[in-house]
Amino acid sequence: MTADRSHLYLENGALRAAVCPAAGGSLGRFEAGNQSMLRRAANLDTSDPLEMACYPLIPFASRVANARFRFGGRNVTLTPDVLSDPHALHGLGWRRPWDVLEASSRQAVLGFTHEGAGWPWSFEARQSFTLDETALTIAISIENKAETAMPAGLGLHPFFSGRLTAKLTGDLPHIWEANAQCLPTHRIDVTAPRNFSHGRRIAPLTLDHCFAGGTGPLDIEWENRPLTLRMVRSDTSHTVIYTPQAHDFFCVEPVSHMPNALNRPEPADITGLRSLAPGEAMQLSCRFEVRGL
């Protein structure tokens, strides 16, 4: 590992990664040889996580409607995010700098401690980036440090370039239909063209939706690139797919719960939302495997 100001560089064989603790604990780059496997941050000096390759979602993922919810007999008001006003978005971690806890040539471990405004429960978060000869594994965890139970969720928000030439394959059996504010309304079984079980080109799709179920790998390939990527997820029950037509990138986000889970009437086995007792922790990980090296 070498450090350059706020950057940590990892390398193992043909694989390289850059971690940016100050930019919301983000991954800046992940490359295999001459190919970027995730979107490449043009400027690693930026503190803007929206320019990064991947950032963490903690203590919740996606939107919370109108930035408020009720839990454990208390009414909670959050701060709306500028990207989703009047809704809260993606928790706190991606908007705050993280501390470097451990660093070597092949692994970086970051930490983030929350106490105070923005979320009424204290917690500690950890995020590790581990590079082996064929894959980058990102693992994230949260531990409730408050004196009462805390709602919790986790996720990763990777960006992939090459939307026009990309294809996604994987078992994602259910989809949450969404309204104009990208809030889920009801869950249905997937049908074409949103069924990825036999592969589907990303280019014609306009999605900002959460898919439920399906724990197998997700494969991404590009028509004009030699290497492919396999995402192997752990401790996730939902996947958000975002395919903005105005941009070259797309997102395939492993998350532990559906959007607006904090306000949904369905039970936890449907929403994926966790309730952590004081001292209890949860984790999520995703292994980004490079195929064709």
Given a contact cutoff of 8 angstroms between Cβ atoms, the answer to whether 258 and 176 are in contact is yes
pLDDT digits (tens, 9 = 90+) for 114-152: 998 899 999 999 999 999 999 999 999 999 999 999 999
Give residue 152's pLDDT: 98
- pTM across the whole model: 0.96
Burial 45-54 (b: 16+ CB within 10 A, else e): ebeebebbbb
**At residue 2, does pLDDT exceed 70?**
no
- Smallest CA-to-CA distance from 153 within 44, 63, 53 is with 63
At 5 the pLDDT is 47
Share of the chain above pLDDT 70, in %: 98
State the residue range of the domain holding 257: 2-291
Cβ burial 61-97 (10 Å sphere, 16+ → b, else e):
bbbbbbbbbebeeeebebebbeebeebbbbbbbbbbe
Omega before 21 within 30 of 0, i.e. cis: no
pLDDT at 116: 85
pLDDT of residue 32: 98
CATH number for 10:
2.70.98.10
Note the pLDDT tens digit of each residue in 84-100: 999 999 999 999 999 99
**Total tally of structural domains belonging to the chain:** 1
| Distance (Å, whole) CA 271 – CA 71 | 15
Residue 1: the pLDDT is: 39
